[in-house]
Amino acid sequence: MAVPSSSPAAAVWHDEGEVDPRWPAPSAPVPRQVSPTLVVVGVLLVLVLLVAGLWAGGGFARRTDRLTPTPVGTLVTAGPFQLRFTGATAQQRTSYDGRVTWRVTVLGEGRTTGVETMAPPHDGTDGMFVSRDDASGEIQEPDGLTFARDDGPGGQGFTPGLPLQPFQVQFTYGPTYRPGATLTLAALGLELRDTSLVGDQDPVWASTDDGDRFALPVRVLPAAVS
């Protein structure tokens, strides 16, 4: 006959009868397994927090301590390009809705030593050009590039086999920009590498932390409405 335990802590029943020999022996407890999905989610969360911390702390900021001061007009080589920069222009522009910006244009020449028409990379973190206003310290990346040949427009890049051709690098500065005597241009080096996150793409020309720094003279153009 089963009788209740005399312990006041819990209502546990003890069966004083004999165990049926036909019953199987008790099995060991099964260890609790963690879902692989939870493991992956946890790892991704840690990576996201790590990247966010690096970004907040400036861990992805572009290095500038490895730029070599280079005289204006010096021909420099970066990957498959030879480039020379001679100066810059600044023009205040007012849109029809009253928005004021400054178009800063870096003037130069360049050519490619490659075998196909190509343009220097200028977008995002892999771009090779950065400008800084020496008076305010404002930094901008390019909006675009334009190319020209002696016989007309130069298309979307430098044509192989030609000598140095005129080209421009355009930047947009805010309404508080005031042109100073010089503008600093950083022209970074280039290397072939896979820039994808998982490393499964063909290598492309992308910027390095090394390069040249130019103090370009600035010429102010008459204001315009665009």
**Per-residue model confidence (pLDDT) at position 184:** 98
Cβ within 8 Å of residue 180, ≥6 positions away: 133, 134, 135, 218
What percent of the chain stands above pLDDT 70?
69
Confidence of residue 197 (pLDDT cuts 50, 70, 90): confident
Domains and CATH numbers, the chain: 67-221 (2.60.40)
Residue pLDDT, tens place only, 56-97: 444 434 455 589 999 999 999 999 999 999 999 999 999 999
Is the pLDDT higher at 109 or at 16?
A: 109
Q: What value does the mean pLDDT of the chain take? A: 82
Name the CA dihedral angle for 10, 15, 19, 23, rounded to a multiple of 10 degrees.
Answer: -50
- Residue 23: the pLDDT is 63
Whether the predicted pLDDT of 182 surpasses 80: yes
Q: Quick one: pLDDT band at residue 201, thresholds 50, 70, 90?
A: confident
The secondary structure of 20-65 as a DSSP string is: PTTSPPPPPPPPPPPPHHHHHHHHHHHHHHHHHHHHHTTTTPPP-T
Which is more confident, 177 or 42?
177
Report pLDDT for 161.
Answer: 94
Range name among 1-10, 25-34, 154-163 with the lowest pLDDT average: 1-10
Mapped onto helix, strand or coil, the DSSP state of residue 126 is helix
pLDDT at site 59: 43
Tell me the CA distances in angstroms from 82 to 68, 85, 129, 166, 213, one per residue in order.
Answer: 16, 11, 14, 12, 15
Model pTM above 0.75: no
pLDDT of residue 76: 98
What CA–CA distance (Å, rounded) separates 225 from 96? 7
Which one is predicted more confidently, 221 or 198? 221
Q: Is pLDDT above 70 for 22? A: no
Which residue has better confidence, 47 or 102?
102
Q: How confident is the model at residue 35 (pLDDT cuts 50, 70, 90)?
A: low
